[in-house]
Structure 1
Amino acid sequence: MVGSNILFVDNCKTFIENAVNAFSQIGVQYTLCFAESDTEAWSLLQGDHQLSPLPQIMLIDINAEGINGIDLINKIRNNFELKSILIFVISNINNNENKLAALNLNIAGYMSKPFGNEEIISFFSTLNDYWNSIEFSSENK
């Protein structure tokens, strides 16, 4: 999946910086794109600033203030061009209602947000290994 986009929807600048550093340290071969809100993410998926190629993977903190993550995931799952995006929810807030709603929208996983530098590197290294072991559609988007 070299050269593909990953869309990261989170408004925590510290966590985003740590994620970028982790991606660099473990040699992730993807282009990491960021959105700080569900509206900005939707614009990158279907709006005036649409990513090309469309991301095959998305990481989202659905519990972050200012992000209506469940609504965004629902819109993605109801869009023919986007519904195959592999969506991972990462959050430091344990909201069972949002967790159940996200799982019912066929997300790939709901995980606790890591905090320490080594935890973050280990977390993204594990995800990277997973992403590199699965097969994505060969269709160009």
Structure 2
Amino acid sequence: MGFSALHFEVKSSTSQDFFRDLVDEGKLGEGGHESFNWIVDQHDYHDTSPTQADKRLAKRQHRRHYFTFSVSGKWIRFIRWDRAGAVVSERFNILKHSELFCQFFWRFAHITDAERGYDLTVEPATPEQEETFRQAIQDHIIHQQKYTMIGLDSA
């Protein structure tokens, strides 16, 4: 996941969808703002929830936002994550509305890295910065060990 542009969360069953639309199924596009509920009380998903995937990706990449897909059986959702939270689409049947999925990928293929959410202001550390960081860590470890030894002597 270190260099992934997109993330897919795939579940075999529709019952494992983390969100629930409040509109009738089959009426694509009739949902509105806040037209879904988060399903957490029916299942205990631990590290497989969308927020866990969000945390894992955010830890490994410098991103302003990114896209994930939640696939549950034949149903799929688009999710756009940023530091404030997520915007989740209505689910749609990938077999009946495959053009939506294809259209997303066509558009994604034609946008810039910045539009894909990569933070272009991040630069690799210089060798001098790496050495400064390494020395700071070593100094901190020595400082911790010194206080640990003092604590043991007075115990």
* TM-score normalised by the chain length of structure 2: 0.34
More helix by share: 1
Q: TM-score, normalised by structure 1?
A: 0.37
**Structure of greater relative contact order (alpha carbons < 8 Å, 6+ residues apart):** 1
Give the structure with the higher percent strand.
Answer: 2
Which structure has the greater CA radius of gyration?
2
